Every structure is written in structure tokens, then in C-alpha cells.
Amino acid sequence: MILPALLSVWRAMVPRPMTLGQRLEMFPTANLGLSKPLTIFWNAHQVPWIDAADDGDAALAIGLVQAHLRLTQLMLLKHAAYGRLAELAGPVATGVDHALRILDLPRAAPQIEAGLPESTRCWLSAFVAGLNAYQEKSSLRPPEFAMLGLRVERWTLRDVIVMGRLVGADVNWLVWGGLLRHLEDPSFAALWHRLWQSGLGSGTSLGSLVNNLPMQGSNAMAVAAYRSRSGGALLASDPHLGMALPNAWMLMGLRAPSYHGVGLMPVGLPFFAIGRNPFLAWGGTNLRALATELYALSPQQASAATTEELVIKRRLWHPARRVRRNTFLGPIMSDARVLGIPPGHTLALRWAGHEPSDEFSAMLGVLQAGDVRAFRQALAGFAVPGQNMIAADSAGRISHVLAATASSSVAAMQYSPVLQASQDALHPFLRGAALPFVQDPSRGFVASANNRPSIGGPLLGLWFSAPDRIMRLEEALGGPGKLAIGDLEALQADTRSIQAHTLAQILASHAMAAGLGGQDALAILAGWDGDYRAEAPGPVVFEAVLYEVAGFLYGQQGSMADPRMNWGFLTRFVPVDLQALDETQRRQVFEAALASASRTLQRHPSWGSMHRLRVEHMLGRLPGVGRAFRLANLPVGGSRETLMKTSHRLARDVHDTSYGAQARFTADLAHLDAAYAVLFGGQDGWWGSTTFADQVPLWRAGKTIQLPLDLETVRQAFPMVMQLAPS
């Protein structure tokens, strides 16, 4: 057993190189279940453009393409959705699987499936047929299959619905996981009050699991036609997710009788979450809507819970047996030991995703929408994950719609994240159709960067992003003059932080007031413009000084386990807490901070020399064998809340970024073929393929790939033609 396992690891680490031609030769073209002939055009980056004479055939082709390009990724996501990661990783994943089983992502799937409109059911069923047809017709498996112990499984309609719930996971779970382990701390109430004010929490060990869930972060913006140089409305949207390869998105084009569009498609789901059709372009950011409520159960309430035994299969080990307890509110999350909730706290979770909703029909409706009004109507039933949806149409109009289901008890959490459980305490969730929207504002643009929406309505969440990115967008979009699509692309690559600049000035003024002037590090800090350019020394000094100051004030420098190390908390409270120190303490902390910054600057004269981005397969983080899955280690600009996000912890030495702006999309509604996109990485998930990471140079240079809508342009830009025959 050991020798075959070692051989499978070796084959995955040293795969057979695959050219684009060889990869396309692997694509089956006959006996696939099609009703009519279908054409797939491919470009040099292995981006497909599907031309179908039948809607069902189009969906089937999407399934074929996704299985061809991302089969390993699809299988991993399916295992995660069902809490089956230990089948691949062994006993080490038992706790994560138990937590996922308790969360019970599939809970609402039977009701969702039963309530699907017939057109949506047919579309999803055809997509499933495409996934299965590819698996049946293709004899070769990706290199990682044997290494991970993956086996081909038939897909069902319910599997796709559950994948939708995985994508719809509540980003607030990361916050709860980081906070709830501190419930017994004497200072928890004061900490919670400050976190409420700063609007940020922290991640936990589950963060690595859900790091690739679509639209956790992101920027999105739309510019009205009268503010555009081309005379057409503009849209730009760039999602922020995990930077490991393959990417969480796929680029694609599609034409069928009922659907015509291009854009970014989430792996495992058959719709464009970001894209355009001939009349409308759309994108979005995570709303950070609180779709989850936590309730403290009394012993009597806990004893009334129903108990279900779970069997967790584990690779190369015996199965584990765990339990899941369910209450009238939802599952008891405190039973998941991986969350570290202190004993004595029995907490139940109520999640909007446990109730049926139909995001599939909503997004298919968006793909068919002819203007921003139809766009808003299509999103009325969208529930999870809550989104700021941004759109621009061919008539020059723009819109910002809140598409979500959210808790109506957010205000009640001001003093504690945990509510008291009772039947009378439950309030209905707020639904998307009742939430506010804005259309054609007088300033001529709409924008979102995970900030608290400024369009009115109730408080929908607790943990909005710090305002750096939205401030930068509003500063740039609100300036004089008209804008071009190139201006929006430049913003997607922008590395300046307004709040970092402000905080740097505050730190420099304290150091000067302490009589520490004349040092090179202090001069660099005082003169820094807040731009995290890779070649700039200013970010090196600022981050090193902030590392020491935060450590002095709060301890645990650089530890994301401490929620006080979040950017929103630091920018709000570091100035306050520095002011509260006496002069001797301030001099002490800044002497140490500037000395540390000087040493750091000697080792790392520029931000890019210490702020690094790995180009690596998702297995690159594995101990030992992970090195074989790394392609490059690059200097990179940006920071945690710059528009070109490359997130990181507090650091004063070399560190990697693993979360950030990993895809970009732009569109100009003045021209049918003016849609452009790029991925960090590439289209192909096949390790060893020439299109596995071929878009990285484009991404680094701020360049994109054209995604035209006109079929004549497609024939020119996508010259490799594949004909699929009907059965």
C-alpha cells in the first residue's frame, strides 16, 4: 500500500507536460448526449466560447468544459460541501469534517430542488449531464487524483445545489470562529464593544477551508454613460479570493437561443457571477450581510435537541463517529471542537442558508436581463451569500442592488454576539426584495468595496471592510473629467491606501514629538504617500513600525488569532491608544519601532523584497512535498485594503500573501465586443498544462484577454474550432 501511494505522489509532483493541442485532443466530441451540433471555439489561453443551437446543449457543454478544465477542483469542492475531506486527507481533517457536517450545507437542498422552475431544472440537469458525460468519455485523470485518493463519482442535480450552498457560506462564520474562543476572557465585553465600533473580526482555522468561496472580498464599480469617454456605461469588477491555483473562476463565452454572454463563472456552478450580455454588464462584492444568528441554549433547551450519528470516513484509517445535535433554531455549533468554544457554552446556529432560496434562477435571469430594471427584478429571490450587485446597461444607466437575506437582529448584538434562545425571540430574516437599491445617482457612478452600503436601509451586518478601498474608489471616480475603461483597469491595479497614509503621518508625528527626528527611517515614514508599490521603501518602514507599536499596545504581534490585529481595529484605535500613553511610554515604543524599522530596511530596501506572492498549485502549502508544486515566488505590490488587494498579516520580515485580487473583469457597453478579463493563474487546472499559469504575466502587467460577444469577432480571437456531434 505504501509503495503505490509513493508512486502516485511522485507522478503528481512530476507530471507529464501538456501542450494546448494535447489538452484539447483529450476533449471527447461524440456521443455526449447533445441534441444538435454544437461548436466550441478556443483561444490560445484555453478559454472556451460555446455556440449552441439548443439551451440544454449549451448547459451540457458548460458541464463538459468545467469537467475538462477543473475536474480535480470540482471533486475537492464537492468533498468540502459534504464534509468529506478526511476521505482525502486522513484523520487530520476529522475536526473540520465534523464542523462542516454540523453546519449541514445540504440541509435545504431537497426543498430547493423541489421548488426549482422547470427552465432552471432543465438547465442544471443538462449541466450535470455534461459533467457526467465528460467523466465517462475521458479515460485520463488529472495527476492529483491518485495522490489525493480521488475517485470519479456521478454528479446529481442535488450535488450542484449543495455546491451553491458552499459558495453561499456566510463569511461571518470566520468572525465567530475567531471570537467565540474568547468568551471566557474577562475583557471580552470590552473587546466586543471595540470590535463593534471598528466593524472587523478575525479568521480562524476554518479560514483556509473557505478561503476560495466566491465573492468574500472584491471591488465593483459602474460609471454612467454621460461620465464615459466612449459614450457607453462602464463596469469593472474584481473578486478577491485565495491566490492558490487553479483559480476559483473560469473565463467563458456562450451563445444559445435564450442566453448570450461572457464573463467569469464560478467553478461548479453554470452561470456568470460577473459578466455581460449584449445589453447589460454586472459584477458585485460580498455584502457581509449577517445571515447567521447564534443563540445560547439553556440546559433544558439543549436536552430537547435531536441527535444524529455521523460516520466520517478517513483515508488510510478507521472511520470516526461523531454526533450532530439539532434544535428548533438549527444545529448546535459548539459541538464542533475545532472552533474552540469554551466548555459550558452551548450555542445553536440559525442560518438563512438552511431555508430554501433560488440563486440559480436569479443569476440566469441576470444573464437574460435587458436593462438595470430587469437586473434588479431578477435578483429579488437571491439570498446567500448576500451581495452588493452592480450593473450598467446599454442605455447608459447604472444601478446598485442589495441581493441578500439577512438577520433582523443585528442591532440586538451590540453588547454580545450571542443571543438568548426562545421561540419568542426569533425574528424573520430580511429579504432582498425589501432591501434598498440605487439607480442613476447624481454623481454618475456607483461603487462597492465590502464597505457598509451608503444607500440607506437597516443595518445588515457587523463586519464591513475598512473604508480604504471605497475611499480610494470615490476619490478617483468622483474627480473631474470623463472616464475610460482603461481608467477602471488602472484602479483595479491601484496600490495606494488612504488610511495607511493617514496612520503613517500619525505615527511619524508621535515619533517626532518624542524627540526622535533625524533618523532615515523616520524621514521615509513621514514622506510616504501611502502607496504600496513593490519598489517603494515606505511600506517597509510603516509596516515595521506598526508591527512594534501594535505589539506594545496589544501583544501578540502579527497574530490574526487576536482580533485586535485587524486593519479596521488598528486604524481606529492605535491613534487613540497611543494618545493615552504617557510621554515616557511613547518614547519607549517609538525608539524600539524605529530601530526595528531601520534593521528591516537594511534587509529589505523595497516592499516587494519582503512582500511576496507565490505562484503555486493548491497543494503547494503541503509540508514537504509542497515545494514541488511551486512555480515562482514574485515581488508584489498592494496590501490588505488596497484596491489591488494582496492581503497579509502584520509583518516586519519576508511574508507571503495568499489572498487578494485574483481575477479582473471590465466592460464598456458602447461596444459589443468590449469585455475583458484575466485570471491570476490560468484556465486549466491540469498540473503541467501550458495554460495552467499562463495568465500570470498578463495579471502582473495589468493586461487582459478580450471576451467578445459578436460571433465574427469570436472566430478571429478564438481560432481553434471544436465540433461536437449530437448523439
Tell me the average pLDDT across 136-147. Answer: 93
pTM higher than 0.75 for the full model? yes
pLDDT for res 562? 62
What is the extent of the structural domain holding 101? 1-12+33-483+679-727
479 & 502 share domain: no
Q: What is the mean pLDDT of residues 110-134?
A: 98
Higher pLDDT, 625 or 123: 123
Residue 251: predicted pLDDT: 98
pLDDT band at 517 (very low <50, low <70, confident <90, very high): confident
Q: Residue 101 pLDDT more than 90?
A: yes
Q: What percent of the chain has pLDDT over 90?
A: 83
Q: How far apart are CA 557 and CA 562, in angstroms?
A: 9
User: Same domain for 215 and 249?
Assistant: yes
Listed residues 580, 605, 630: the one ending a domain: 605
The terminus-to-terminus CA distance of the chain in angstroms comes to: 41
What's the mean pLDDT in 118-146?
96
Residues 6+ away with beta carbon under 8 Å from 237: 218, 219, 220, 221, 274, 282, 283, 284, 285, 390, 664, 665, 666
- pLDDT tier at 59, thresholds 50, 70, 90: very high
Find the mean pLDDT for residues 627-646: 96
Measure the CA–CA gap between 561 and 558, rounded to whole angstroms. Answer: 9
User: Do the domain assignments include residue 83?
Assistant: yes
Q: Are residues 475 and 503 in the same domain?
A: no
Average pLDDT over residues 341-352: 95
- Mean pLDDT score, 234-249: 97
Q: What CATH number is attached to the domain comprising 304?
A: 3.60.20.10
Q: Give the separation between CA 243 and CA 661, rounded to whole angstroms.
A: 8
In this predicted model, what pLDDT tens digit does every residue of 212-223 receive, in sequence order?
Answer: 443 357 999 999
Indicate whether 563 pLDDT > 70: no
> Is residue 566 in some structural domain?
yes
Q: What's the pLDDT score for residue 490?
A: 98
Say if residue 42 is in the same domain as residue 146: yes
Distance, CA of 249 to CA of 245 (rounded, Å) = 10
In a domain, 18, yes or no: no
> Which three cell numbers mark 53?
443551437
Q: Which of 590, 605, 620 is the last residue of a domain?
A: 605
Cα(484)–Cα(676) distance, integer angstroms: 13
* Inside any domain, residue 216: yes
State the average pLDDT over residues 689-707: 98
Let me know whether 418 and 506 are in one domain.
no
**Stretch 348-371: mean pLDDT:** 98
Domain boundary among 567, 582, 605: 605
pLDDT tens profile 168-218: 999 888 777 778 888 998 888 888 888 787 764 433 333 333 334 433 579
CB 458 within 8 A of CB 205: no
Question: What is the C-alpha to C-alpha distance for residues 7 and 240, in angstroms, rounded to an integer?
Answer: 36
Q: Please, which residues have CB within 8 angstroms of residue 362's CB and are 6 or more apart in sequence?
A: 378, 379, 380, 381, 382, 403
Do 457 and 353 lie in one domain? The reply is yes
- Look at residue 450 and tell me if it is in a domain: yes
Q: What's the rounded mean pLDDT across residues 615-642?
A: 93
Same-domain check for residues 522 and 463: no
User: What are the distances in angstroms from CA 364 to CA 216, 367, 392, 572?
Assistant: 21, 5, 17, 41
| CB contact at 8 A, 77 and 190 | no
Determine the pLDDT at residue 15.
Answer: 72
pLDDT score at 217? 73
Say if residue 103 is in the same domain as residue 181.
yes
**24 in a structural domain:** no
551 and 412 together in one domain? no
Q: Are residues 348 and 410 in the same domain?
A: yes
Would you say residue 155 lies in a domain?
A: yes
Domain contains 563:
yes
Instruction: Tell whether 232 and 280 lie within a shared domain.
Output: yes
Q: Convert the pLDDT of each residue in 272-322 to its tens digit.
A: 999 999 999 999 999 999 999 999 999 999 999 999 999 999 999 999 999
Name the residue among 645, 661, 666 with its Cα closest to residue 283: 666
Residue 708 grid coordinates: 467578445
Nearest by Cα to 298 from 428, 172, 423: 423
**pLDDT of res. 215:** 39
Mean pLDDT value across the chain: 93
Question: What's the mean pLDDT in 631-657?
Answer: 96
User: Within 13 Å and on the Cβ side, how many CA atoms surround 162?
Assistant: 23
pLDDT at 103: 97
So what's the pLDDT on residue 6? 45
Lowest mean pLDDT among 149-163, 435-449, 615-629: 615-629
Q: What is the pLDDT of residue 205?
A: 33
In the chain, pLDDT over 70 holds for what percent of residues?
94
Q: How many domains does the chain have?
A: 2
Strands 48-52 and 249-255, by their bridges, are: parallel
User: What is the chain's length?
Assistant: 727
Do 409 and 505 lie in one domain? The reply is no
Is residue 9 very low, low, confident or very high in pLDDT (cuts 50, 70, 90)?
Answer: low
The DSSP bridge partners found for residue 331 are 326
- pLDDT at 450 exceeding the cut of 90: yes
